[in-house]
Structure 1
Amino acid sequence: MADLFDNAPSTGEPQRNAPRPLADRIRPAVLSDVVGQEKILGPDGPLGAMLAADSLSSLILWGPPGVGKTTIARLLAQESDRAFVQISAIFSGVPELRKVFEAAKLRFQQGRGTLLFVDEIHRFNKAQQDSFLPHMEDGTIVLVGATTENPSFELNAAVLSRAQVIVLERLSLADLERLAQRAERELGRALPLTGEARERLLEMADGDGRAALNLIEQVAAWKVQGKLDTQALAQRLMRRAAKYDKAGDEHYNLISALHKSVRGSDPDAALYWFGRMLEGGEDPRYLARRLLRMAVEDIGLADPQAQTQALHAWETYERLGSPEGELALAQSVIYLALAPKSNAGYAAYRGARALARQTGSLMPPAHILNAPTELMKDQGYGSGYQYDHDAEDAFSGQNYFPDGIKRPVLYAPVERGFERDLKKRVEWFAGLRQKRRGDERG
Structure 2
Amino acid sequence: MADLFEQPATSQPGRPLADRLRPGDLSLVVGQEHLTGPDGALTRLIRSGSLGSMIFWGPPGTGKTTVARLLAGATGLAFEQISAIFSGVADLKKVFETARMRRASGRQTLLFVDEIHRFNRAQQDSFLPVMEDGTVILVGATTENPSFELNAALLSRARVMTFRSLEHESIASLLTRAEEEEGTPLPLDDEARAVLVRMADGDGRAALTLAEEAWRAADAGEIFDAEGLQRIVQRRAPIYDKSQDGHYNLISALHKSVRGSDPDASLYYLARMFDAGEDPLYIGRRLVRMAVEDIGLADPQALVICNAAKDAYDYLGSPEGELALAQACVYLATAPKSNAVYTAFKAAMRTAKENGSLAPPKHILNAPTKLMKAEGYGTAYQYDHDQPDAFSGQDYFPEALGRQTFYAPPDRGFEREIRKRLDYWSKLRRERAAQADD
* TM-score normalised by length of structure 1: 0.70
Give the superposition deviation at 1:319: 11
Give the superposition deviation at 1:118: 1.2
- With over 3 angstroms needed to count, the CA separation of the structure-2 counterparts of 1:417 and 1:135, relative to structure 1, is same
Q: Hey, what does 2:183 align to over in structure 1? A: 188
Rg (Cα) greater in structure: 1
Q: How does 1:141-160 map to 2 (within 5 A)?
A: 141-160=136-155
Q: Hey, what does 2:79 align to over in structure 1? A: 84
Q: Which residue of 214, 227, 233 maps to 1:231? A: 227
Structure 2 counterpart of 1:275, which letter? M
Say whether the 8 Å CA contact 1:342–1:416 is kept in structure 2.
no
Give the superposition deviation at 1:89: 1.9
Task: Confirm whether residue 344 of structure 1 aligns to residue 340 of structure 2.
Answer: yes
Give the superposition deviation at 1:100: 2.4
Give the superposition deviation at 1:165: 0.9
- Structure 1 residues 100-109 or 161-170, which shifts more? 100-109
CA deviation digits over 1:267-313, x for unaligned, max 9?
66994699369946655xx9668745642454124456745875896
Give the superposition deviation at 1:230: 0.9
Structure 2 counterpart of 1:143, which letter? L
Aligned length: 391
Say whether the 8 Å CA contact 2:259–2:294 is kept in structure 1.
no
Q: Hey, what does 1:128 align to over in structure 2? A: 123
Task: Confirm whether residue 214 of structure 1 aligns to residue 203 of structure 2.
Answer: no
| 3-state DSSP of counterpart to 2:51 | coil
Q: Hey, what does 1:117 align to over in structure 2? A: 112
How far apart in 1 are the matches of 2:194 and 2:362?
58
Q: How does 1:24-63 map to 2 (within 5 A)?
A: 24-63=19-58
Give the superposition deviation at 1:62: 1.1
Q: Hey, what does 2:392 align to over in structure 1? A: 401
- With over 3 angstroms needed to count, the CA separation of the structure-2 counterparts of 1:327 and 1:52, relative to structure 1, is same
How far apart in 2 are the matches of 1:356 and 1:259?
43
How far apart in 1 are the matches of 2:185 and 2:58?
30
Say whether the 8 Å CA contact 2:409–2:416 is kept in structure 1.
no
Q: Hey, what does 2:364 align to over in structure 1? A: 359
Q: Which residue of 245, 257, 265 maps to 2:259? A: 265
- With over 3 angstroms needed to count, the CA separation of the structure-2 counterparts of 1:259 and 1:356, relative to structure 1, is farther
How far apart in 2 are the matches of 1:432 and 1:129?
59
- With over 3 angstroms needed to count, the CA separation of the structure-2 counterparts of 1:111 and 1:215, relative to structure 1, is same
Q: How does 1:268-347 map to 2 (within 5 A)?
A: 271=269, 275=273, 279=277, 282=280, 291=287, 294-296=290-292, 298-302=294-298, 306=302, 310=306, 322-333=318-329, 335-336=331-332, 341-345=337-341
Q: How does 1:14-25 map to 2 (within 5 A)?
A: 18-25=13-20
Give the superposition deviation at 1:103: 2.8
How far apart in 2 are the matches of 1:340 and 1:294?
12
Say whether the 8 Å CA contact 2:384–2:392 is kept in structure 1.
no
How far apart in 2 are the matches of 1:357 and 1:201?
68
Structure 1 counterpart of 2:204, which letter? G
Unmatched segments (≥5 aa) in structure 2: 6-10, 353-359, 367-377
- Structure 1 residues 208-217 or 328-337, which shifts more? 328-337
How far apart in 1 are the matches of 2:111 and 2:337?
52
- With over 3 angstroms needed to count, the CA separation of the structure-2 counterparts of 1:273 and 1:26, relative to structure 1, is farther
Structure 2 counterpart of 1:173, which letter? H
How far apart in 1 are the matches of 2:114 and 2:433?
74
How far apart in 1 are the matches of 2:49 and 2:146?
26
How far apart in 1 are the matches of 2:40 and 2:363?
48
Task: Confirm whether residue 69 of structure 1 aligns to residue 64 of structure 2.
Answer: yes
CA deviation digits over 1:28-55, x for unaligned, max 9?
1112222421111123321111012122
CA deviation digits over 1:215-234, x for unaligned, max 9?
11121232253532111112
Q: In angstroms, what is the RMSD of aligned CA positions?
A: 4.8
Say whether the 8 Å CA contact 2:56–2:140 is kept in structure 1.
yes
CA deviation digits over 1:38-94, x for unaligned, max 9?
111123321111012122211111112111111000111111122211112222233
Say whether the 8 Å CA contact 2:4–2:170 is kept in structure 1.
no
Share of identical aligned residues, percent?
A: 46
Q: Hey, what does 1:12 align to over in structure 2? A: none
Say whether the 8 Å CA contact 1:61–1:145 is kept in structure 2.
yes
